[in-house]
Amino acid sequence: MKKLIILGLSVFSLAFGEVSDRQLKFAALSADIAMPNLENFKLMAKSSLENGVKINELKELIAHDAAYLGFPRALNALNALNEVTKGQNYELGKAREIKPDSDFYAKGVQMLSMLLGQKAPELLQNDATFDFMLKSYLFGFLFDSHILSPLDREIIVISVLSSLDGVEAQLKSHLKIAKNLGLEISDFNKITSNLEPKTAKNLLKNLKEIR
């Protein structure tokens, strides 16, 4: 089922339903980057590429992970992906279109409002610098690419945050967003079945606390 959400002049299409095999792969790959376990990441990336996932989808996944893990770890994952794809004929897929003249702050406000199901706060974290960074870069620039859907991205994020210690508040926030986008307990159980036990336990523990 699809739901159209109109915010300002933008229309967002969201797919509701069971979490897909592709999204389960994204969750596992992002957890490997977060831990990090790049040898397992390479095995998972190879398997994913052999089963329909595109190179540029994985690059977009890594780019989104960079917002939560930092550029050094993301660049290591990108190098690992390049090792997997070197000399191979995996499908590249659609490339991100860079739009340097876009108002990414305004787009970020729209996207965050859609994700939250309500108007975005005027000033995130009560700080102008972090408000601009989060809205323009994270929710504006990164989400502006349609290579991955908003739900794809939120599944990626909850997998990353479930792999880390000390980020429970952020994990709970993104679990709420994932629920807003249509994920149900059965979907979260499928996601955790593809994660390391500690990561899965952390995700389910925090999910229980927001019900």
Between residues 71 and 210, the one the model is more confident about: 71
Please report where in the chains the tokens 């336990």 appear, as a residue: 201
Residue 211 — very low, low, confident or very high, per pLDDT cuts 50/70/90?
low
DSSP 179: H
Say what the pLDDT of residue 72 is. 97
pLDDT band for position 93 (cuts 50, 70, 90): very high
Tokens of 66: 């960079």
What's the pLDDT at 125?
95
pTM: 0.90
Q: How confident is the model at residue 210 (pLDDT cuts 50, 70, 90)?
A: confident
Q: Extract the tokens encoding 93.
A: 């897929």
pLDDT tens sequence across 21-75: 999 999 999 999 999 999 999 999 999 999 999 999 999 999 999 999 999 999 9
**Could you tell me which of 160, 153, 168 has the C-alpha nearest to residue 207?**
168
| Residue 12 pLDDT | 47
- Indicate if the pLDDT at residue 196 is higher than 90: yes
Query: Residues 169, 1: contact at Cβ < 8 Å?
Result: no
In this predicted structure, the answer to whether residue 14 has a pLDDT above a threshold of 70 is no
Q: Pick the closest to residue 149 from 51, 70, 61 (CA basis).
A: 61
Tokens found for residue 133? 């960074």
pLDDT at residue 3 in the model: 46
Residue 195: pLDDT over 90? yes
Q: What is the pLDDT of residue 17?
A: 55
| CA separation for the pair 77, 64 (Å, rounded) | 12
Give the tens place of pLDDT for each residue, 108-138. Answer: 999 999 999 999 999 999 999 999 999 999 9
For residue 99, pLDDT over 90 is answered with no
pLDDT of 13 above 80? no
Residue with tokens 């323009």: 136
Provide the Cα torsion 158, 11, 146, 100; round to 10°. Answer: -110
pLDDT, tens digit (0-9, with 9 covering 90-100), for 146-169: 999 999 999 999 999 999 999 999
Q: 116 vs 28, 49, 113, 194, CA distance in Å?
A: 25, 32, 5, 26
